[in-house]
Amino acid sequence: QAKKHGKDKFEMFEPGMRVAFQATIDMESDLRRAVVRHEFELRYQPIVRLNSGEITGVEALIRWMHPERGVVPPVEFIPLAEETGLIVPIGEWVLREATQQVAAWNTRRSGRPLTVSVNISAVQLEHSVLPEIVQSALDASGLRADRLTLELTESLLVDHRPETLQRLHDIKALGVRLAIDDFGTGYSSLAYLRQFPVDIIKIDKSFVDDVVDEPTAAALTHGIIQLGRALSLSTIAEGIEHAGQLTSLAGGNCELGQGYYFAEPLTRSDFDDLLFPIDVPGECD
Residues at the site binding ligand C2E, with contacts judged by CB under 6 A:
45, 61-62, 73-75, 78, 91, 94, 119, 121, 151, 181-182, 238-241, 258-260, 265
Q: Which does 61 bind (CB under 5 to 8 A by kind): ligand C2E, Mg ion, none?
A: ligand C2E
151 near 122, Cβ under 8 Å? no
Nearer to ligand C2E, 8 or 72 (CB): 72
Beta strands of the chain (E only): which ranges? 40-49, 55-66, 70-72, 115-119, 148-153, 177-183, 200-203, 234-237, 256-257
Across the chain, which distance is largest between two alpha carbons, in Å? 76
Q: Which does 259 bind (CB under 5 to 8 A by kind): Mg ion, ligand C2E, none?
A: ligand C2E
Q: How far is the CB of 68 from ligand C2E (least distance, A)?
A: 20
Q: How far is the CB of 236 from ligand C2E (least distance, A)?
A: 10
Q: How far is the CB of 13 from ligand C2E (least distance, A)?
A: 31
Q: How far is the CB of 72 from Mg ion (least distance, A)?
A: 18
Q: How far is the CB of 92 from ligand C2E (least distance, A)?
A: 10
In b/e form, how buried is each residue of 101-138, taking b as 16+ CB within 10 angstroms?
bbbebbeeeeeeebbbbbbbbbbbbbbeebbebbbebb
What x-and-dash track marks residues 165-194 binding Mg ion by CB under 5 A?
----------------xx------------
Q: Which does 123 bind (CB under 5 to 8 A by kind): ligand C2E, Mg ion, none?
A: none
225 near 254, Cβ under 8 Å? yes
Which residues sit opposite 62 in a β-bridge? 42
Nearer to ligand C2E, 186 or 265 (CB): 265
DSSP states of 239-274: ---SHHHHHHHHHTT--EE-STTT---B-HHHHHHH
